[in-house]
Copies of this chain bind each other. A is one copy, B any other.
Amino acid sequence: MSTPRHHAVEDAEVWLGVQEASDMLGVSPATLRRWSAAGKVRAFTTPGGHRRYAESTIRQLLGRAAGLDSSVSALGESVDRAAWALHEQLAPVCGSLSWVPRATPEERQILGLAGRSMVQGLLGYVDGRNDHECESAIRPAIEAAAMQGRIAARHHGDLGETLETFHRVRGALVDDLAARACLAGLDTPRATRLLARANDGVDRLIVALVDAHAAAPAAAVSPG
């Protein structure tokens, strides 16, 4: 019977010294030191003042240029199916916006397409393996968000209400990704990176929507 203490440490993080980390990044140790001093790269500081960098942190920095290792498809489900499921969940929420009943049937159809496009683009953005793939995926989603913003403005949609809807979208997407990440056994760095990217994507859609909403300041309909 083995003694119960000293359990093997399960998720041991690999720590790198400044030299190793800066070699990986291709910068000088002084630069990496400045980065951590500025809060750009997180590091564990020993009581003596020396820094230790988590290998996952460094890989994350590299990942912006090289392959991203946290993706939806790596989570086991195809992007298409995930998008479909998410859209099914979100469509009623979006449809309950107070200004939607004022939209024409054609506009409502467009809104449905836009919603699907946004969900699809968002997941594609999260799933992309490099910047180019991410941008290609989200571009139509951004256009769809702008379209939704213009239609909302046309019908005097309340911006706060629309934002809340988007926040629900964000919540659902993040919850969904988090659940998939847990199921897939993704480790904490990868999972949090995934969620951060999802956030970025949603933020970009929101900005596009708000800008479009403001730029197309409504047609004069139903003037009181």
Closest B residue, CB atoms, query A172: B39
| Pair A44/B17 contact, Cβ less than 8 Å | no
Number of interface residues of A (CB under 8 A): 74
Identical chains bound together, number = 2
| Pair A25/B52 contact, Cβ less than 8 Å | yes
Contact of A20 among B6, B54, B158, B174 (CB under 8 A): B6
Find residues 140-185 in chain A having any chain B CB closer than 8 Å to their own CB: 158-160, 163-164, 167, 170-171, 174-175, 177-179, 181-183, 185
Q: Chain B residues near A48 (CB, 8 Å)?
A: 31
A219 touches B (CB below 8 Å): no
A3 touches B (CB below 8 Å): yes
Find residues 171-219 in chain A having any chain B CB closer than 8 Å to their own CB: 171, 174-175, 177-179, 181-183, 185-189, 191-193, 195-196, 199-200, 203, 206-207, 210-211, 214
| Pair B192/A181 contact, Cβ less than 8 Å | yes
A13 touches B (CB below 8 Å): yes
A81 CB, min distance to chain B CBs, angstroms? 13
A129 touches B (CB below 8 Å): no
Q: Chain B residues near A5 (CB, 8 Å)?
A: 3, 14-15, 52
* 24 A-B contact pairs sorted by A residue (CB < 8 Å): A5-B14, A6-B14, A8-B20, A9-B16, A25-B46, A25-B52, A39-B85, A40-B47, A41-B47, A44-B62, A56-B182, A160-B214, A163-B210, A164-B203, A164-B207, A167-B207, A171-B200, A174-B195, A174-B199, A178-B188, A182-B188, A191-B191, A192-B195, A195-B196
